[in-house]
Structure formats: C-alpha cells, structure tokens
C-alpha cells in the first residue's frame, strides 16, 4: 500500500511542478505578462491547488487504512467480550465454597469459554483475510451450520430454549462470516429478552428466520440499529457494533437482511440468500 502511495505522490509532484514551470514560462515568455500582481496571484493559486491535491492524495489513503485498523480492533474486542466475561464470572464462582459436582460444571463452563476464545482467534484470522480481499467462500449446508451454532450457544445460554425447524439448504458463501452473523443475531435476541427464554429459528426456501420474544423496538429504533455504537438500552453490555457487522457482511455477500419488530412483542430477523435461491431456480428450469 505505502509503496504505491509513494509512487503516486512522486508522479503527481512531478506533474504539478512541470505544470507550474510551463505556466510560468508561458506567462513570462509567450504572453509577456507584466502585471506582477496578477502573475503572483496566478502562481499562488497554482501552488495552493497543487498543495491541496498532494495532501489529499497522501492523507486520504492513510485515513482509510487507519479506519480499517480501528474497525478491526473494535470488532475483535467486541467478539472477545462475551467469552472473557464468561471466564471471569466462572472464576469468581469457583472461589466460593461449593460441592465437587458444581465445581465440575463450572470448570466445564470455563472450558467452553476457552473454546470460544479459540473461535475468536480463528475469526481474527478470517477478518485479516477479508481485509486483504481474499475470497473465503465455500460450499456447506446452512441447516448443519445453524444446528452447530445452536449446540455451541446452548452452553453459553443454558436457560434459553431453542426451537428449530431447519430445512436442508445447501449454500455457497462465506461460512465463517455467516456463523459470526448468526451468533450476533442470536446474542442480541437473548440479550434483549430478559423476560423470555425462547428463540425460534427456521429455515425454508433459502431463508433463515430468527425470532425472539423480547422487548422489541419501535420504528425510530429500527432506523438506527445498524449505526455503530448505537444501543437501544444503554444498560446492556457491549459496544453496539454487532448488527453493523451483520449488515456489512450481508451487503458484501448479497444476502437480503430484514428486521421486523414491535415494542414488547419481540424481533424477527430474516436472511434471504438470493444468489443461492436464484441458482436453484436456474437448475430447476434447466432440468
């Protein structure tokens, strides 16, 4: 990146200086401008314009690069928040006097949290690959992926009842990114459902639906759910960037993302895999 930036700045600097000298030569030798004030004004304007363009050429890519690094670190921190909290909670619980059976259960929870940290590490590797624009698509079954994510999240949310209705659905897309999106949506559903312990997940016709029965959102809140750092409830843990990550992933993979919600009635999130759906229709027509 920086090598190309240096080359671009050097080339633009040569062009700018050449244009400046040719303009000066034209004004003095060809046009024979004798008004020094006008000549000085033209030169100042050219120098200012050249300075602005060079600064823009050099600063904009750096700002973009720094912004990408900041987003990467914040999103990684967001993903590490949940397992870290789990480990801390269980370590505190182990410090209390308890029976051996409870200690074994808490050690199992710590083990699950460590597995989550390992997954976050793998996701960090995935994010670095996506930053470098490497293609990470693969073929897999959506129903199998959802079932595996639910099995994993049951250890994190043992009080939650997951109701599954999963139709076999083969996909070709970014599997790790989709798993992260599913985890974030379910995590939000549990987080904003303090009085409910039920999450319904359904797959049909290349559409994944995740419904909770939590506090829900009004129309004003729905308009801001994808804004970074926005949280409907400021008392909730987290950074408010989870749904923003989900939205960027869906846009990148051309997945239709839709939210339906109402206060005190819960939220329903649907992901429609349009490209895979269209591919299936094309195959059926061919047959």
- Whether 90 is covered by a domain: the verdict is no
Range of the domain at 197: 136-287
Confirm if 204 and 166 have CB atoms less than 8 A apart.
no
- Whether 105 is covered by a domain: the verdict is no
Q: What is the mean pLDDT of residues 128-150?
A: 80
**Is 223's pLDDT higher than 70?**
yes
- Whether 154 is covered by a domain: the verdict is yes
Q: How far does Cα 252 stand from its chain's mean position?
A: 10
- Whether 115 is covered by a domain: the verdict is no
Higher pLDDT, 267 or 40: 267
What's the total number of domains in the chain? 2
Examine the domain organization and report whether 45 and 165 are in the same domain.
Answer: no
pTM above 0.85, yes or no: no
Examine the domain organization and report whether 141 and 249 are in the same domain.
Answer: yes
Examine the domain organization and report whether 144 and 232 are in the same domain.
Answer: yes
Examine the domain organization and report whether 157 and 265 are in the same domain.
Answer: yes
Residue 239: per-residue pLDDT: 40
206 pLDDT band, cuts 50/70/90, is very high
pLDDT tens per residue, range 78-120: 676 677 677 767 776 776 666 677 777 777 777 777 777 767 7
- Whether 64 is covered by a domain: the verdict is yes
Tokens of 53: 């363009």
């Amino acid at each position: 990146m920086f090598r190309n930036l240096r080359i671009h700045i050097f080339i633009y600097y040569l062009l700018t200086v050449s244009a400046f000298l040719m303009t000066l030569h034209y004004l003095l030798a060809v046009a024979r401008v004798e008004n020094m004030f006008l000549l000085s004004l033209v030169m100042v304007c050219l120098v200012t314009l050249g300075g602005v363009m060079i600064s823009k050429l050099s600063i904009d890519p750096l700002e973009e690069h720094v912004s990408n690094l900041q987003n990467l670190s914040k999103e990684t921190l967001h993903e590490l928040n949940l397992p870290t909290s789990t480990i801390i909670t269980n370590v505190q619980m182990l410090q209390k006097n308890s029976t051996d059976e409870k200690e074994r259960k808490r050690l199992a929870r710590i083990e699950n949290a460590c597995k989550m940290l390992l997954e976050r590490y793998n996701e960090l590797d995935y994010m670095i690959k996506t930053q470098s624009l490497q293609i990470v698509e693969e073929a897999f079954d959506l129903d199998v992926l959802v079932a595996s994510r639910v099995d994993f999240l049951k250890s994190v949310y043992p009080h939650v009842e997951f109701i599954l209705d999963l139709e076999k659905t083969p996909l070709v897309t970014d599997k790790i990114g989709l798993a992260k999106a599913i985890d974030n949506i379910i995590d939000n559903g549990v987080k904003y459902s303090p009085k409910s312990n039920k999450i319904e997940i359904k797959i049909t016709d290349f559409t994944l639906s995740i419904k909770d029965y939590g506090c829900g959102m009004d129309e004003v809140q729905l308009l801001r759910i994808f804004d970074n750092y926005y949280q409907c409830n400021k008392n909730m843990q987290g950074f408010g960037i989870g749904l923003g990550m989900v939205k960027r992933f869906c846009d990148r993979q051309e997945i239709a993302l839709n939210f339906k919600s109402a206060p005190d009635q819960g939220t329903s999130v649907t992901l429609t895999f349009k490209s895979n759906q269209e591919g299936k229709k094309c195959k059926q027509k061919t047959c």
